[in-house]
A and B are shown apart, each in its own frame.
Chain A
Amino acid sequence: MKFYEDEHWKAIFHEFLSKLKDEVHYESSSLFIFESNSQALTEVAKSGDVIDFISSVNFPLGKGLSAWVAQKGKLIYLADIHRGSRHGFSPIRSYLSMPLEINDRIIGVLNLCHVKPRAFSGKRMTLIQDLTKQITRKIYNRIYLNFISDGEKSITY
């Protein structure tokens, strides 16, 4: 079983997204973890209607813009968008796709959407980055722990 499938971790992710919601009042969010073994991005937690741009388009690390963000390690923040009014899409005005990066290593992606423009600008962005750093560190430690215990096992046996 993957560590992120564990109830304990699910609760951590949920708490993280809730805390973020309290602070920045987003409409929807999703958290992805990058698995180095499968080289793919997996959604581990979400809140609200999950919105991943161009979700049917393939990239090396999976489908959707989140996979591209993970691949490039590049933050995308669209502060005032007018997305797809023609097709009755959700009226998102702010979109953030942030890679979770630590020690030059991408370990996941966080997506946030809001119906108001510039919802994640200024201090809110700093806040999001601070909170995201904490969860990133936590996930990284867990992955690193896995790595060490796998190494120990291979030495022992």
Chain B
Amino acid sequence: MKSSANQHLWQEYKTNGDINIRDQLLVQYLPLVKYVAGKMMFSLPTCVDYNDLLSAGVMGLMGGLERFKPEQGVKFETFVLPRIKGAILDELRTLDWAPRSLRSKARQLERASEHLEKKLGRPASAIEIADELNMKIEDYGHVVRELSKASLLSLDGSRVDDKEKTTSMYDLLENTETDNPQRKLEKYEMKLVLIEAIEELNEQEKIVMALYYYEELTLKEIGQVLNITESRVSQIHSKALDSLKSLLESEVIN
């Protein structure tokens, strides 16, 4: 009975393109959107809004209603499910500020990490994962850093600690007006690492970096010290920054 009523609706809609009938069909198939969105929500971070997924899914459903051809003998559900999912994925991609290439690298990293963990019987180190992916350790560090920037948390969310105590993300915000001993220690350690790293640079780079950052001389003034042009100092500065970055990355990763 329902099936014949459905057929009738489809026939009417496809013949007349009546918007009221389209809306009836839309309401009828709406649970499909809820089903797909609900299933996808499980694997998404909490900052993603369920209603955003529903809206995108409805757009996918509407597109399906327009393109569906009942005479081809395919069930509408079969036809529309991938469209709803696709529309939601498209929406997620627009919400995601990380490029797809980065997400793809993240999946590669995850797979390599899981594979190595099974193989070694322990969590794999950064160097081992980089080796597995035929990547330089610096490149691996770069991807990990980029990925950490792409992860978002909502302040309205909460987290559950080891003792199953729920804490609001607001409560975890740092009070920047108080002294933070950990940050002080980190800064101190970072300074030591930085001093060591500067010592590894060649003489000219060392002088440029030290005069620029310790003494805050301008590039022009540094040029006078080294008897070179301001633009040459700038080049040396950029090169030294790259070298320092690599040195510090390998230090941090190891």
Contacts and interface: CB of A to CB of B under 8 A. Distances in A.
* 10 A-B pairs with the lowest CB-CB distances in the bound complex, closest first: A84-B216, A54-B210, A57-B210, A53-B215, A76-B225, A81-B221, A54-B214, A78-B221, A83-B215, A78-B224
B56 interface: no
B207 interface: yes
Interface in B48-94: none
A54 B211 contact: yes
Contacts of A59: 203
A130 to B, nearest CB: 23
Contacts of A77: 224
A54 B215 contact: yes
B203 to A, nearest CB: 7
Interface in A77-112: 77-78, 81-87, 89
A54 B198 CA distance: 12
The DSSP consensus for interface residues of chain B is: helix
Interface size band for A: 20 to 34
Contacts of A65: 207, 211, 225
Interface string A36-72: 0000000000000000011011110000010010000
A59 B215 CA distance: 17
A57 B215 contact: no
B216 A85 contact: yes
A68 B207 contact: yes
26 contacts: A53-B211, A53-B214, A54-B210, A54-B211, A54-B214, A54-B215, A57-B207, A57-B210, A65-B207, A65-B211, A65-B225, A68-B203, A68-B207, A74-B227, A76-B224, A76-B225, A78-B217, A78-B224, A78-B225, A81-B221, A82-B218, A84-B216, A86-B216, A87-B216, A89-B215, A89-B216
Given A57-B198, A58-B199, A84 B215 contact: yes
Contact of B206 (A57, A83, A86): A57
Contacts of B207: 54, 57, 65, 68
A85 B210 CA distance: 16
Contacts of B218: 81-82
